Structure 1
């Protein structure tokens, strides 16, 4: 009886995602709104489930804060996230890297400050006293951390401009376009999203500042899964572009493919995050 009780306590201490090995939970950070994310990634989730031969549940968060809460609570077996989330998940929550996106014909991404072409702003220093809307909030890598890094390099300190947050990068871009704010913090690739191009004339926007090109958005898997299962997930995702069904699922998610990556590739993000947030990864 004592042995059974100890076993029960150990089992109950595991997160739901880990305790039930018959199903997996796939968490995606809210780069886009919830409905669009569901439409884009449902085919990929179904493909992964079919290839694994087990249920995979797509878990969508309405905002960055909710995604972070679920991640820290151990709700996810597999994540597609930004680079800050990955660094934290690797250090604190036992995740390992699978690969990164290739999208819009690129394998890299950059942080940026976006303004209207008719704004009259010629440099970041012109944003002193102005309102900048950061897409996703303080844990958004391109939309906040890298964008803020650009502002600091230009000599603008906290308090030199009005800092506001949008629920996602798309909303930050839209608010800038409609002149509700002066500038947006966002990834450069977000201007190429179909949803953005269908809603506004992106030719009326421009990059006031752009960071160096950096590694794309990562995919990571929990080390609490067995090594065999982790390897299986890795192989399925990395080779999706080699089958008709895989390519169809990638296309539905607006992805070209998922490419192999190494943790050391994320060292530039470690330095930027240390500078802006004071965190060591």
Structure 2
């Protein structure tokens, strides 16, 4: 099943196709685009398989080509089950009524990395340099800009950024010598092949941030939402779920409360302003 899901899923992810409406329409599982399409399907297929088995309903994995598109699809309520960053979870609740279910227990950090043999050993050394970033509305990017500002480095004044689209692409800009440093999230860093991580050195990191959150659209009734929650918790206890958690460094599942989401309101409002700005 996983091979078939991978081949079909990657095509759907790239095309951005939603399944046709029908009585047996699959549950759409939207995963925010911090990984490539192939990585997304490979990583989340075991979880989708568990949901299919326990809910007795097909589950289709979707993402988007960029964060802006993903946020817009979320706002339109295209995903039944949503996995997204905490500041985007705040927007999902405000804009489309999504209800938080669970989050990954292990906090994440934003990492500022350079090549292993780089001459830079402190953030201040990047003054006048170029930093590759994944999508600029990623919470780890916003947090890292705040960290650099605390070191008296202002974006577009003391350093320039280049938007690479994904965490992996940002890292490759550094490895290939096209950027002096890169911003990325710790989960994406852990999922990279060891041969890539060996070529990098962490220069700075943010304080802990709440991890990715699972939410359900209000069109799923309470019983359906609770069935999804129960399935996720059950999956985490299986050998497949434990391998999934270990590979991603997710640390299992934990509850989400409203106060936690509220703490990300400032980042969410930044995202709103960025999305409204003319391109």
Give the TM-score band, short-chain normalised: 0.7 to 0.9
Contact 2:66 2:165 (8 Å CA) reproduced: yes
Q: Partner residue of 1:35? A: 38
Deviations 1:23-59 (A, max 9, x none): 3111111211101211221221121011011222211
Residue 218 (str. 1) matches residue 246 (str. 2) = no
Aligned length: 256
Shift of residue 157, structure 1, vs aligned partner = 2.0
- For structure 1, which segment, 125-134 or 66-75, has the greater mean C-alpha deviation from structure 2 after superposition? 66-75
**What TM-score, normalized by structure 1, do the two folds share?**
0.79
Q: Secondary structure at the match of 1:214?
A: coil
When residues 150 and 278 of structure 1 are mapped into structure 2, their CA distance, relative to the original with a 3 A threshold, is farther
Of the three residues 145, 168, 177, the one matched with 2:175 is: 177
Q: Partner residue of 1:97? A: 100
CA distance in 1, matches of 2:186, 2:243: 25
How large is the Cα RMSD of the aligned pairs? 2.9
Shift of residue 192, structure 1, vs aligned partner = 1.8
Residue 157 (str. 1) matches residue 154 (str. 2) = yes
Once the two structures are superposed, the pairs formed by residues 117-196 of structure 1 within 5 Å of their partners are 117-135=116-134, 137-142=135-140, 144-160=141-157, 161-193=159-191, 195-196=192-193
Contact 1:47 1:245 (8 Å CA) reproduced: no
- Segments of 5+ residues of structure 2 without an aligned counterpart are 1-17, 275-279
Largest Rg, 1 or 2:
1
Shift of residue 20, structure 1, vs aligned partner = 6.5
Contact 1:38 1:60 (8 Å CA) reproduced: no
Q: Secondary structure at the match of 1:242?
A: coil
- Segments of 5+ residues of structure 1 without an aligned counterpart are 1-14
Q: Secondary structure at the match of 2:77?
A: coil
Of the three residues 252, 263, 270, the one matched with 2:258 is: 263
**What TM-score, normalized by structure 2, do the two folds share?**
0.80
Q: Partner residue of 2:3? A: none
When residues 268 and 124 of structure 1 are mapped into structure 2, their CA distance, relative to the original with a 3 A threshold, is farther
When residues 150 and 274 of structure 1 are mapped into structure 2, their CA distance, relative to the original with a 3 A threshold, is farther
Contact 1:240 1:258 (8 Å CA) reproduced: no
- For structure 1, which segment, 165-174 or 154-163, has the greater mean C-alpha deviation from structure 2 after superposition? 154-163
